[in-house]
Structure 1
Amino acid sequence: MTVVAKILQSKPDTTVHTIRPTDSVLSALQLMADKGIGALVVTEGDAIVGIFTERDYARKIALLGRTSAATLARDVMTTAVRFVRPDQSSEQCMQIMSTGRLRHLPVVDNGKLVGMISIGDLVKDIISEQKFIIEQLEQYITGTH
C-alpha cells in the first residue's frame, strides 16, 4: 500500500500550480494548457479557497454562455475542496475520488499545500504495484527467487 508522499516523490514535477480568485478563467485555461494539467488550486495567500478544473470550465462557462476572458476564477471555482494528507494511502485517495467523482486532490500537510495528485498518478502507482507483485509471483512459481 503506497502513501501519498511516495506518489508525490515519484512525480517528475512536483510544482503545484495555483491561481488567485481574481484571475480570469482565460488566464487559468492558458496556464493549464501551458503546463499540460487539468486543475489549478485557487489560493489567497497561503489559504486554499477553491479548485478550478476542466470540468468547471465545461459546465460553468461553455454551457452557460459565459466568456473566459470576462469571468473570474472565483465565480466558477469549486469551493468545497477535498484534500488528502501525505500519510494517506492510495486506496484512501481512490475512495475519495470515486465517491466524490473527483480527478484531482490537493495534498496538505500541517495546513500547507505541498502537492497535487491526480487519478492518473494513482492509476500509474497501482499498475506499478501490480507489476511488482506479478514479477514476484512469477519468480516464486519458477523458483528463480
Structure 2
Amino acid sequence: MKNVKELLATQSAKFNFISSKATVLEALVLMKVANVSYIIVRDDDQYKGIVCEKDCLHKITLNGLKPEKTLVKDILIKDFPIVSPDDSTEHCLELMNSFQVLYLPVFNGHQFLGVISVYDILKETAEEQHIKHKHDYTYA
C-alpha cells in the first residue's frame, strides 16, 4: 500500500476552506457546491479544525440550533488525529478506526498539506487489487 504522501500526490488540489466566523449554513453550501462532505476551517491561513456534514446534522439538528445563526467555530472538531506524509495507509486506517473518523488532516510539521479520507484509501486498495488480479490473469 502507498503512504500518505503518495496518496496526496494522486489527489486534485481540493482544499475547501472556510473561516471559523462563517455560519454553518455557509459551510454546508460550500460543501454542497464542492461536492465534499467536510470542510477545513482556517483563520489567517492557520488550521483550526474540520467540519463534517455528520457533525452539522448531529450538533445543529439534534440541539435545535439554526445553521444560519450558528458559527462554524461553535461546532468544528479540533481534536482530529493528524498524520504526516510518511505515515502508511495502514496507520491511517488504524487511526480512523480507533477514533471513528473518516478523515485525517495531513501535516508536515506545522504545514497543512491536505486531507486523506477513508474513501481515498479504499480507492487505492481497490486499484491495487485490480492490478494484482489483472497481473495474475496475464500470466496464468
Residue in structure 1 matched with residue 87 of structure 2 by the alignment:
88
Give the deviation of 1:132 after TM superposition: 1.6
User: Is the Cα–Cα contact under 8 Å of residues 16 and 114 in structure 1 kept in the other structure?
Assistant: no
The count of aligned residue pairs is: 140
1:58-69 equivalences under 5 Å are 58-69=57-68
Residue in structure 2 matched with residue 14 of structure 1 by the alignment:
13
Instruction: Give the distance between the partners of 2:97 and 2:6, measured in 1 at CA.
Output: 21
Q: TM-score, normalised by structure 2?
A: 0.93
Instruction: Give the distance between the partners of 1:108 and 1:88, measured in 2 at CA.
Output: 11
Local SS of the residue matching 2:115: strand
Task: Output the amino acid matched with 2:44.
Answer: G
Instruction: Give the distance between the partners of 2:15 and 2:106, measured in 1 at CA.
Output: 10
Task: Output the amino acid matched with 2:2.
Answer: T
Structure 1 runs of 4+ aligned residues shifted over 6 Å read: none
Residue in structure 2 matched with residue 38 of structure 1 by the alignment:
37
Where does structure 1 lack aligned partners over 5 or more consecutive residues?
none
Instruction: Give the distance between the partners of 2:109 and 2:78, measured in 1 at CA.
Output: 20
User: Greater CA radius of gyration, 1 or 2?
Assistant: 1
Q: TM-score, normalised by structure 1?
A: 0.90
Instruction: Give the distance between the partners of 2:41 and 2:35, measured in 1 at CA.
Output: 17
Residue in structure 1 matched with residue 52 of structure 2 by the alignment:
53
75-84 or 29-38, which deviates more: 75-84
Instruction: Output one character per residue of 1:31-85: Cα deviation in whole Å (capped at 9) or x when no partner.
Output: 0000000111112223222210011101100111101110000111112122211
Instruction: Give the distance between the partners of 2:38 and 2:104, measured in 1 at CA.
Output: 9
Instruction: Give the distance between the partners of 2:82 and 2:35, measured in 1 at CA.
Output: 21
User: Is the Cα–Cα contact under 8 Å of residues 46 and 112 in structure 1 kept in the other structure?
Assistant: no
Residue in structure 2 matched with residue 130 of structure 1 by the alignment:
129
Superposition RMSD in Å: 1.3
Instruction: Output one character per residue of 1:83-123: Cα deviation in whole Å (capped at 9) or x when no partner.
Output: 21111111111111111111111111121111112111110
